[in-house]
Structure 1
């Protein structure tokens, strides 16, 4: 870690993921292995652009906890406490990048950009995509056009705002997409950035610091043909402080779910209704256990937030001690992604 950069620079926060992973001959498994300096050396950056490296952790993002994501957010704040930093890049595994980037966006209180990137191919692949993604992410983080845009994801030449982005393919190099809004911009292999004007952003949620105690349990429960409310009831029995329903269609379940949702809400446990559908909002339309009945039972609409990001928002709100009524207000404010990105 270089802490002596006194000129304008980008801070690279390395957290692990495929972008720094290599094959382990003993087990045949691919694991995070390289540090941030190794990754930076592979990117072939313009030597006139200074980059300061901070190794935050070295973990596959599938193994991250809410406390780990808060630690990443804390590292972003520390990096931007340096007035010489023009922006930050977070290298991160792709599996849960959409959660970490959205959490960072919810807490970001600085006009300087935070750019997440990663890779689909490991560092020891014959043709890794990580170095190119990092080069493009650094270019975006250093660009004037990225200011006041909050947290962004840069991947394979496309730029996405954090709210609404999803991993859309397990292995294709174009790993991320936003089925509702599409990309916010593009960046060329040479680092030429095209990014639209910043849209209206809501004020950041309060910063509570990194998790000093176990984070509240929040669960995602899937609705599907033949499912009933037993897994939701089991989550409550296990101590869940909040639940996201991965509902069908525009936010539907069945009568068994509705009954348990009512019990959860009566006990002060927020239930958020999202959908397994790639695009479009949750809408309370149908009876017979559908969205209209879930709403009547006290469930809260996720709007256009899909389960992964609804989970991140709900866990943060519960961590902050937010009352149930205010949780409903926040989801109403932030579920309309076209206004809050």
Structure 2
């Protein structure tokens, strides 16, 4: 059956999927200078679903590369998703999004997603006017996932290059590869083979949080990466610039140095939230070293982030702080295991 637009006629008719466009490479084309800019609407992305029983509705939120997004944009996406979830005729939502910061948006949406209807993010690695653009296929697959009953109650998903990933701990790990995403400490939870959606596992998710409010927009959480010879200059500058929390991306299992430990101890005493992650791509934070290592940072009051990647942790901490929640290792524990 050809793709139909608009509302389902009854609860027994074809699945109805809303595609929310936000921009990204999937919506980009190159200008005369050769630089790609997001300018296409979601309905212009060339997806072919002529032989599927799926009804599709397209809406555009904005047309931006995801490197341009602010926390306000992430909040607006979350609000738009909830608005579509409340519609009885909608069975799932697909979001077209740039890959650069898809991991942040996907994780925020997963933190607040309280419906059993699927939410699926996708995008592209090559612009729409590339002869080998991957956008149309990725979008088609994402729509198939969102329309599939097996995707229900699995939270927010990323569908990309024939694979399906849970939002948590999924990161872009390659700048240009056709399949750029990887779930740290795990793998895809499903795949799309010749149009058939197949799941192999189900993510474990904590209870959903409340939607972000406008307070989230300007809740600043900064990430400070450590390296040989690093001092406390950047951490101090972050606080002076208005950061409500600082995440230390330590070396190895989450190590600092004596200077950073001294800064953290004083900052925490003054009421700043300090969290401890790792600059390493995968693996948990393990506070086991002294002499400025992770054990000293945790002893000073830094909150260890477990296996949660630092840039997803930044979203979590900003969301918690924006609600006025007291943030300590017990408050964050359900999200980092």
Tell me which interval the TM-score lies in, with the shorter structure as reference length.
Answer: over 0.9
Distance 2:275 2:82 in 1: 29
Checking the alignment, whether the CA contact within 8 Å between 2:249 and 2:276 is kept in structure 1 is: yes
Checking the alignment, whether the CA contact within 8 Å between 1:43 and 1:134 is kept in structure 2 is: no
Distance 1:214 1:163 in 2: 21
What is aligned with 1:36? 42
What is aligned with 2:18? 11
Secondary structure of 1:85 counterpart: coil
Q: How does 1:65-144 map onto structure 2 within 5 Å?
A: 65-144=70-149
* Post-superposition offset of 1:206: 1.5
Checking the alignment, whether the CA contact within 8 Å between 1:140 and 1:193 is kept in structure 2 is: yes
What is aligned with 2:57? 52
1:78–1:266: structure 2 CA closer, same or farther, 3 Å change rule? same
What is aligned with 1:295? 298
1:308-340 CA-partner distances (Å, limit 9, x unpaired)? 111111111111111133xx223221111xxxx
Checking the alignment, whether the CA contact within 8 Å between 1:10 and 1:86 is kept in structure 2 is: yes
Choose the corresponding residue for 2:229, options 222, 226, 236: 226
What is aligned with 1:283? 286
RMSD of equivalent CA atoms: 1.6
Distance 2:217 2:85 in 1: 27
Q: How does 1:116-265 map onto structure 2 within 5 Å?
A: 116-188=121-193, 190-209=194-213, 211=214, 214-265=217-268
237-246 or 150-159, which deviates more:
237-246
* Post-superposition offset of 1:47: 5.0
Distance 1:130 1:3 in 2: 21
Checking the alignment, whether the CA contact within 8 Å between 2:225 and 2:249 is kept in structure 1 is: yes
Distance 1:199 1:34 in 2: 33
1:14-69 CA-partner distances (Å, limit 9, x unpaired)? 100000000111x4321001001101x33445353101111011110001011110
Checking the alignment, whether the CA contact within 8 Å between 1:10 and 1:142 is kept in structure 2 is: yes
Distance 1:208 1:72 in 2: 10
Distance 1:157 1:285 in 2: 39
Choose the corresponding residue for 1:21, options 21, 25, 28: 28
Choose the corresponding residue for 2:315, options 292, 309, 312: 312
Checking the alignment, whether the CA contact within 8 Å between 2:255 and 2:292 is kept in structure 1 is: yes
Checking the alignment, whether the CA contact within 8 Å between 1:115 and 1:151 is kept in structure 2 is: yes
Uncovered stretches (5+) of structure 1, i.e. residues with no partner: 337-341
Checking the alignment, whether the CA contact within 8 Å between 2:71 and 2:217 is kept in structure 1 is: no
Secondary structure of 2:17 counterpart: strand
Secondary structure of 1:22 counterpart: strand
1:147–1:47: structure 2 CA closer, same or farther, 3 Å change rule? closer
* Post-superposition offset of 1:208: 3.8
Q: How many residues align?
A: 329
Checking the alignment, whether the CA contact within 8 Å between 2:247 and 2:277 is kept in structure 1 is: yes
TM-score normalised by L of structure 1: 0.93
Distance 1:47 1:290 in 2: 56
Distance 1:196 1:213 in 2: 35
